């Protein structure tokens, strides 16, 4: 089936013809107008979208540079109602269309591939580490600081690992010593339990603790590392929040850091008083000042930013957990937290409460978005979150309890196409599929959990590596790779309570 627009009408054609392939859309003999003469005029271009096994629709073929501008009303009423009533019931492709409309969006699949291992190294440059950060920029992952296997603080060097081939000659691994942006500037001291994120081709770092476990107080400043220039720059706040009078969040460890347009967003962590914080801050990189946003209803280490929505997961009992979210870009008067409870018992799918794993946004293409919840330490309440010493016998038994991966389906992306060299990332028909499923009374999977189905590696991968799965672990560094469908993670603490030095890619499909 194909949908296309012609000036102010939206048409559907249930068959593939040479004329359609050539772009002569009006020659389709069985076309049906599903949006006759609406007051909303469509752009004066033709768009061709087709049903596929992976999603409902593909891409406009007549004008790849055009913008598809279907309103949510048109998607729900025109496409949803017509496809449900006409295509599924009356066309020759009814069986195929019905299959595509009914194809569930959960569970998703995940394949783990080990990309590198590091041998034991007693120095501060050891790659067997925990409580570090992994930040992806381009086809490389950047590891910074943390605690090494010999129980010493890792150096402030940046370790660079190539995670995807670019087609150009490049090293698989390199180490960049800490250098200041100018002679009068400093470099960040080594640290662990800090926060980091990619920001417009740079790496932003905030907070952490030193070798004694003491919070590093840098007056709410952010360190910025430039991979191209290979230097560090310290961004000090120029003024405080006008409402609270405070200069910024202050010293933190185990906080979460995210990039959002020209801002860096910081959530939670453990503050100078030792309390688990639930405050939310926004730092304007250009103006260099912090603004406090609405405080979250909970303090948790599980946070993720996806499509300008900040998502939190918290747990306070073994049978259920809570999901909280807020729109970061909403006007100030509309910014508010929303919460709901989901079950985590044997009768309903849902991840058990945990901390110090990874909660990251991924996409399987076509605008379908998820939060993936990987591994972590068991904890029935985030108030019990603590930094465990893997070499302490009393802690070793509870260092890591989970090796599972869960996916939460979050709202699909808007219909408007995006600039991308990858077709499935350029257009976002998942929202239209959800409208169709809703029109026929089918579940869309919105805000539903399912455990990811682990795919076996190929025989070649088994022969080369011999390991199927990373196993239980926590306190590792992780980030989303370019394209959004894969996650890279490195190191952490395994089920034995030992720090490990291997890197993995988890690809979701």
Spatial contact of 352 and 451, defined as CB atoms under 8 Å apart = no
Count how many residues are written for the chain. Answer: 509
pLDDT in tens, the chain (509 residues): 445 444 444 445 544 444 333 343 444 444 444 443 333 433 433 333 433 433 333 333 333 333 333 343 344 434 444 444 444 444 444 454 555 556 789 999 999 999 999 976 888 999 999 999 999 999 999 999 999 999 999 999 999 999 999 888 899 999 999 999 998 899 999 999 999 999 999 999 999 999 999 999 999 999 999 999 999 999 999 977 656 668 999 999 999 999 999 999 999 999 999 999 999 999 999 999 999 999 999 999 999 999 999 999 998 777 889 999 999 999 999 999 999 998 887 778 899 888 999 999 999 988 899 999 999 998 753 444 445 554 454 555 555 589 999 999 999 877 565 555 555 555 566 666 666 656 555 566 688 999 999 998 777 777 666 688 999 999 999 999 999 999 999 999 999 999 999 999 999 99
Integer Cα distance of 462 and 465 in angstroms: 5
Q: Which two tokens stand for residue 497?
A: 């309570």
Q: Which parts of 216-277 fold into alpha helices (H)?
A: none
Instruction: Extract the runs of DSSP E, i.e. beta strands, from 236-357.
Output: 256-260, 263-270, 276-284, 289-293, 302-306, 309-317, 320-327, 338-343, 354-355
pLDDT reported for residue 71: 41
The structure's pTM equals: 0.79
Q: Which CATH superfamily is domain 109-411+446-508 in?
A: Kelch-type beta propeller (2.120.10.80)
pLDDT of residue 460: 72
- The H or E element spanning position 362 is strand 358-365
Task: Pick the closest to residue 408 from 108, 102, 104 (CA basis).
Answer: 108
Look up residue 382 and give its two tokens. Answer: 């985030």
pLDDT at position 87 is 42
pLDDT of residue 104: 81
Q: What Cα–Cα distance (Å) separates residue 102 from each residue in 24, 88, 433?
A: 30, 11, 9
The whole-number pLDDT of residue 16 equals 44
**φ/ψ of residue 308, rounded to 5:** 65, 20
**Stretch(es) of the chain classified as CATH 2.120.10.80:** 109-411+446-508
Amino acid 318: pLDDT:
76
Peptide bond into 66 cis (omega under 30): no
* Per-residue pLDDT at 349: 82
The rounded distance, in Å, linking the Cα atoms of 504 and 451 is: 19
Instruction: List residues bridging with 47 in a β-sheet.
Output: none
Cα 97 to Cα 53: distance, rounded to the nearest angstrom: 10
């Amino acid at each position: 089936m194909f949908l296309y627009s012609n000036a102010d009408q939206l048409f559907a054609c249930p068959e593939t013809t040479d004329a359609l392939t050539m772009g002569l859309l009006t020659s389709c003999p069985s076309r049906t107008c599903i949006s006759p003469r609406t007051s909303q005029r469509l752009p004066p271009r033709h768009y061709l979208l087709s049903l596929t096994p992976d999603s409902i629709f593909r891409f406009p073929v007549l004008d790849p540079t055009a913008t598809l501008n279907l309103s949510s009303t048109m998607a729900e009423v025109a496409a949803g109602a017509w496809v449900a009533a006409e295509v599924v019931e009356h066309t020759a492709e009814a069986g195929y269309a019905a299959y595509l409309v009914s194809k569930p969006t959960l569970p998703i699949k995940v394949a783990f591939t080990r990309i590198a291992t590091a041998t034991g190294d007693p120095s501060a440059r050891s790659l067997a580490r925990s409580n570090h950060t992994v930040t992806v920029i381009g086809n490389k992952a950047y590891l910074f600081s943390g605690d090494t296997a010999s129980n010493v603080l890792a150096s402030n060097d940046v370790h660079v690992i190539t995670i995807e081939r670019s087609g150009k000659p490049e090293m698989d691994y390199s180490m960049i010593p800490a250098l200041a942006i100018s002679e009068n500037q400093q470099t960040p001291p080594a640290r662990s339990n800090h926060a980091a994120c990619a920001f417009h081709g740079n790496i932003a770092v905030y907070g952490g603790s030193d070798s004694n476990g003491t919070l590093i107080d840098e007056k709410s400043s952010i360190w910025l590392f430039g991979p191209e220039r290979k230097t560090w720059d310290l961004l000090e706040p120029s003024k405080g929040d006008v409402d609270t009078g405070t200069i910024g969040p202050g010293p933190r460890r185990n906080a979460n850091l995210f990039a959002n347009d020209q801002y860096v967003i910081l959530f939670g962590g453990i503050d100078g008083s030792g309390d688990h914080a639930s405050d939310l801050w926004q730092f304007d990189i250009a103006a260099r000042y912090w603004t406090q946003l609405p405080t979250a209803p909970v303090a948790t280490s599980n946070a993720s930013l996806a499509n300008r929505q900040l998502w939190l997961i918290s747990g306070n009992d073994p049978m259920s957990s809570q999901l909280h979210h807020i729109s970061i870009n909403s006007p100030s008067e509309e910014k508010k937290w929303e919460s709901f409870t989901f079950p985590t018992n044997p009768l309903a799918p849902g991840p058990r409460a945990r901390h110090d794993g990874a909660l990251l946004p991924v996409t399987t293409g076509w605008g379908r978005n998820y939060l993936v919840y990987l591994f972590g330490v068991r904890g029935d309440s985030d108030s019990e979150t603590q930094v465990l010493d893997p070499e302490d016998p009393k802690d070793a038994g509870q260092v890591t309890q989970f090796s599972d991966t869960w996916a939460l389906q979050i709202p699909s992306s808007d219909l408007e196409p995006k600039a991308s060299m990858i077709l499935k990332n350029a257009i976002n028909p998942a929202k239209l599929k959800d409208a169709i499923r809703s029109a026929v009374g089918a579940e869309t999977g919105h805000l539903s959990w399912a455990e990811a189905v682990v795919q076996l590696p190929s025989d070649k991968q088994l022969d080369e590596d011999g390991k199927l799965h990373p196993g239980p672990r926590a306190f590792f560094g992780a980030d989303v790779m370019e394209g959004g469908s894969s996650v890279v993670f490195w190191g952490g603490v395994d089920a034995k309570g030992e720090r490990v030095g291997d890197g993995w890619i988890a690809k979701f499909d």
